[in-house]
């Protein structure tokens, strides 16, 4: 859309001008000074990850990542302002300091990590790219999609994986590329494409929005690794630590059974792991060294809950998406979610 290109230009201009006010203060100090975290999330609304609900409140796994950081910094998960971003705008928005952190189901890749001036702070959702097709096509595998028209969103790793997958399997295809996810959704719904491709989690979310959700099915093949996670600007180690450990605190809380409901009770726990997490006890303080309060992790769990709670509420059994934990289960339960110890 033109407005987006214009926004990109504005961001570029802001970026150019940023040197004039070359701020020496770190992002954490800036965030504390303005009183809220400016967080970039999915602008077109990806239910379960980042989308406003009926009352206009942002909800989702990525939204919770932002709220966790706000809770860690201010002790209040509501001290966060959201910027809805398209796939195209997201990294420029971060580079140009329009946002303090990005949590927009973005895939961590080497080139993004090394060439965009940004750093991924962790993986809050292990995903993979899949395909959705209309049941009427009678297709049961992605290998049957030779010659298909595929709807895809531009500016995503998805667009490249799609091409690689068809090429490596000796299949031909025709990509119909849209800038906004909602436009790609509508085109698929209207029958412009045979298949729709994006991250598998996204497919389940998008399927709910179709006029007849039951007419579409998600094919079994997962054709790529899509580790999704929040990102910050490179070169601000303190802020990077704050965002990184906010995620780890939620994982650690789940691992030791600390929940939003029992966190006050858990303060009395004799378990030293839990004491270190909650900042309880003499000289136990992991917050101050990274510029936070002693009870930073307590605030996160009290305000947002642990990772498992956030997962179930947003994308798991407690949500319309009903996605199984799968790879996103804790390491101790056969998944990949693993936090380094707090000690």
Partner 1 sequence: MTLRDETADDSPRSWVRAVLYDATIRGWVFQGLVLVFLVLFAAWIIHNTAVNLHAANIPFGFDFLNMRAGFDISQKPIAYTLDSSHLQAFKVGLLNTIILSVLGIFFATIIGFVVGVSRLSSNWLLARAATVYVETLRNVPLLLQLLFWYKAVLSVLPGPRQGYMLPLSINLSNRGLTMPRPIIGEGFEIVLWTVPVAAAVAWAVARWAKRRQVATGQSFPVFRASLGIIIGVPIVVFLALGAPLTFELPELKGFNFVGGMVVHPELTAMLFGISLYTATFIAETVRAGILAVSAGQSEAAFSLGLRPSQTMRLIVVPQAMRVIIPPLTSQYLNLTKNSSLALAIGYPDLVAVFAGSTLNITGHAIEVIAITMAVYLVLSLITAALMNWFNARVALVER
Indicate the pairing of strand 195-199 with strand 129-134.
Answer: antiparallel
**Closer residue to partner 1 (CB): 1 or 317:** 1
* Cβ atoms 90, 10 nearer than 8 A: no
Smallest separation (angstroms) from partner 1 to the CB of 180 = 7
Smallest separation (angstroms) from partner 1 to the CB of 177 = 6
**Closer residue to partner 1 (CB): 71 or 94:** 94
φ/ψ (deg, to 5) at 88: -70, -35
**Closer residue to partner 1 (CB): 149 or 275:** 149
Smallest separation (angstroms) from partner 1 to the CB of 66 = 22
**Closer residue to partner 1 (CB): 19 or 289:** 19
Smallest separation (angstroms) from partner 1 to the CB of 22 = 8
Biggest CA-to-CA distance, the chain: 67
Task: Calculate ∠ Cα 129-134-137, nearest 5°.
Answer: 115
Strands (E), 76-203: 80-85, 101-102, 118-120, 125-127, 129-134, 148-153, 173-178, 195-199
**Cα–Cα distance measured from residue 35 to residue 32, given in angstroms and rounded to the nearest whole number:** 5
Residues of the shown chain interacting with partner 1 in the complex, contacts defined by CB under 8 A: 1-2, 5, 8-9, 11-12, 15-20, 87-88, 91-92, 95, 111-112, 115-117, 137, 145-149, 151, 154-156, 159-160, 162-164, 167, 173-180, 183-184, 186-187, 190-192, 194, 233-235
**Cα–Cα distance measured from residue 141 to residue 282, given in angstroms and rounded to the nearest whole number:** 59
Smallest separation (angstroms) from partner 1 to the CB of 227 = 18
DSSP state of 213: G
Structure tokens at 194: 């045979």
**Closer residue to partner 1 (CB): 41 or 94:** 94
Smallest separation (angstroms) from partner 1 to the CB of 258 = 37
**Closer residue to partner 1 (CB): 171 or 327:** 171
């Amino acid at each position: 859309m033109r407005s987006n290109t214009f926004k990109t230009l504005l961001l570029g201009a802001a970026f150019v001008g940023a040197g004039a006010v070359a701020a020496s203060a770190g992002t954490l100090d800036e965030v504390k000074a303005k009183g809220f975290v400016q967080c970039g999330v999915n602008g077109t609304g990806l239910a379960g990850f980042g989308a406003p609900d009926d009352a206009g409140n942002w909800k989702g796994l990525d939204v919770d990542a932002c709220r966790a950081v706000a809770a860690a910094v201010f002790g209040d998960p509501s001290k966060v302002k959201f910027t809805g971003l398209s796939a195209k705008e997201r990294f420029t928005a971060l580079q140009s300091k329009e946002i303090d952190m990005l949590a927009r189901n973005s895939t961590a890749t080497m080139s993004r990590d090394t060439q965009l001036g940004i750093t991924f702070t962790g993986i809050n959702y292990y995903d993979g790219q899949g395909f959705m097709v209309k049941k009427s096509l009678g297709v049961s595998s992605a290998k049957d999609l030779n010659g298909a028209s595929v709807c895809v969103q531009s500016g995503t790793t998805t667009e490249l994986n799609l091409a690689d997958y068809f090429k490596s399997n000796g299949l031909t295809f025709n990509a119909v590329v849209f800038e906004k996810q909602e436009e790609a959704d509508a085109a698929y719904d209207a029958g412009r494409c045979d298949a729709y491709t994006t991250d598998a989690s996204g497919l389940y979310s998008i399927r709910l929005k179709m006029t007849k959700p039951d007419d579409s099915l998600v094919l079994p093949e997962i054709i790529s690794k899509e580790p999704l996670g929040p990102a910050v600007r490179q070169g601000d180690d303190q802020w990077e630590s704050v965002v990184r450990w906010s995620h780890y605190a939620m994982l650690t809380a789940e691992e030791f059974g600390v929940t939003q409901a029992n966190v006050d009770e858990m303060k009395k726990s004799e378990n030293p792991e839990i004491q270190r997490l909650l900042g309880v006890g003499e000289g136990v303080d992991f917050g101050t060294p990274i510029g936070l309060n002693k009870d930073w992790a307590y605030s996160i769990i009290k305000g947002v809950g642990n990772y498992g709670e956030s997962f179930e509420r947003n994308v798991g059994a407690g949500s319309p998406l009903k996605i199984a934990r799968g790879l996103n289960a804790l390491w101790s339960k056969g998944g990949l979610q693993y936090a380094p110890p707090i000690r």
